Structure 1
């Protein structure tokens, strides 16, 4: 029987060389990815670069290379760097032969950005203060909060539950006052486009407050009418 050649040594050598080349490219591409991330900004991004042999796409995530794709003019695309296994040796060899051209294309793009901001202005008008309008908003909201606190206090005393709501339609919109005991949980207006006039999350915008503030009086009037109905019902009770 003829002895067969031992191919395991050759296979291991090819795999080791493949891993060595792939690791070297990954280390270098990581530096490019960090530079690209600094120039483009953000934690995620990508950019493509053309060479005579094809197109390279460098994608970064959290400032490091996520993948490096080489798409030759003829042949299958090669993920030179990726989160998966390394490419086949012949595919890696094809890409490695054009990697230097890719780096030159990257460098040329970086060089093209030189002086791009030379004429960018750095002197700007002073921003207008919002202190007065914020103070005015708080003045209006404080009065709304004061009235609503009085309303929920009365509702808490009447209903006796830990939580409750009072709703009314004002100007075609649904108003809802929710209480947590005798404290205001929120006052909101609307349905799918709801606006919170009072809440734990923050104040409404000034345009929303300006639009809705005139209807607060009508909401309070609806509450007073509700209480009057309850009073009338109580007066008609007979023992």
Structure 2
């Protein structure tokens, strides 16, 4: 009976070391390609595939660093020449590296194809129009709306006797809501919960929204006035 100790097992350390040395060299070289691609594409991450006669090479980069280099031959299995996982098999690596110069040439051809592509693009552009007048008109309207809302808020605070509250009314099918606090109007919203805030503590509405809703604000104020008149009538009916 043969003793297992007598069976010869080949040492793979030398093959693995050669494989790892080649992968490191490819990682460094392809890393330059990834860096150049990141600059060319103008993004922190991305991927691009380059075709050769023997297959296709895909470079994926992130933050300008090579993430993986994949070789997809027309015949045979795909090989991650460089990756964050396990290194490739030596035979697969040898097959891929035989086509590596063609991949580099394809990358260089891609860069060369872009030479002069922007030569006829003019850098002379029309001057952007100023929005100062539009903004001034919007602010003029909103200032008037804010003044009216503050006055209504003050009256509602006096009548209700609480530190905050809301007054809502439907105008031409649109729900308007004024929230008031002790110091004045907190917000004015038209269109329900997902509507437009004509007044708020955040950014002002667009000029288009102001144009759409400002004309109906008069009707909202009239609805408030009608509400106050109804309150007065209710109180007049009370006899002491």
Instruction: Please report the TM-score for the alignment, with normalisation by the length of structure 1.
Output: 0.88
Q: Residues 17, 235 of structure 1: CA spacing in aligned structure 2 closer, same or farther, 3 A cutoff?
A: farther
Task: Report the counterpart of residue 119 of structure 1 in structure 2.
Answer: 120
Structure 1 residues 49-96: Cα deviation after superposition (integer angstroms, max 9, x where no partner): 101110112222222223322111012222223333333333233222
Runs of 4+ aligned residues of structure 1 deviating over 4 Å after TM superposition are none
Structure 1 residue 64 corresponds to structure 2 residue 68:
no
Task: Report the counterpart of residue 78 of structure 1 in structure 2.
Answer: 79
Q: Give the whole-Å Cα distance in 2 for the aligned partners of 1:181 and 1:87.
A: 72
Structure 1 residues 3-56: Cα deviation after superposition (integer angstroms, max 9, x where no partner): 12244xx33333333332222222222221221121111223222110111011
Q: Is the 8 A contact 1:59 1:68 kept in 2?
A: yes
Q: Residues 72, 238 of structure 1: CA spacing in aligned structure 2 closer, same or farther, 3 A cutoff?
A: farther
Larger mean CA deviation between 97-106 and 181-190 belongs to 181-190
3-state SS of paired residue (1:188): strand
Name which one, 1 or 2, has greater alpha-carbon Rg.
2
Task: Report the counterpart of residue 131 of structure 1 in structure 2.
Answer: 132
Q: Give the whole-Å Cα distance in 2 for the aligned partners of 1:44 and 1:58.
A: 11
Q: Residues 201, 32 of structure 1: CA spacing in aligned structure 2 closer, same or farther, 3 A cutoff?
A: farther
Residues 159-238 of structure 1 aligned to structure 2 (within 5 Å)? 159-191=160-192, 194-237=195-238
Q: Is the 8 A contact 1:156 1:182 kept in 2?
A: no
Q: Give the whole-Å Cα distance in 1 for the aligned partners of 2:35 and 2:193.
A: 43
Q: Is the 8 A contact 1:170 1:218 kept in 2?
A: yes
Task: Report the counterpart of residue 5 of structure 1 in structure 2.
Answer: 8
Q: Residues 116, 229 of structure 1: CA spacing in aligned structure 2 closer, same or farther, 3 A cutoff?
A: same
The total of aligned residue pairs comes to 237
Deviation at 1:228, TM superposition (A): 2.5
Root-mean-square deviation (CA), in Å?
2.2
Task: Report the counterpart of residue 146 of structure 2 in structure 1.
Answer: 145
Q: Give the whole-Å Cα distance in 1 for the aligned partners of 2:127 and 2:58.
A: 42
Instruction: Please report the TM-score for the alignment, with normalisation by the length of structure 2.
Output: 0.88
Larger mean CA deviation between 99-108 and 27-36 belongs to 27-36
Task: Report the counterpart of residue 18 of structure 2 in structure 1.
Answer: 17
Q: Give the whole-Å Cα distance in 1 for the aligned partners of 2:188 and 2:202.
A: 12
Q: Give the whole-Å Cα distance in 2 for the aligned partners of 1:152 and 1:85.
A: 69
Provide structure 2 residue ranges, at least 5 long, that are not aligned to the other structure.
Answer: none
Q: Give the whole-Å Cα distance in 2 for the aligned partners of 1:216 and 1:66.
A: 58
Deviation at 1:173, TM superposition (A): 1.3
Q: Give the whole-Å Cα distance in 2 for the aligned partners of 1:123 and 1:166.
A: 53
Deviation at 1:224, TM superposition (A): 1.9
Structure 1 residues 81-132: Cα deviation after superposition (integer angstroms, max 9, x where no partner): 3333333333233222222211110011001100111111111222221111
Task: Report the counterpart of residue 90 of structure 1 in structure 2.
Answer: 91
3-state SS of paired residue (1:123): coil
Q: Is the 8 A contact 2:151 2:184 kept in 1?
A: no
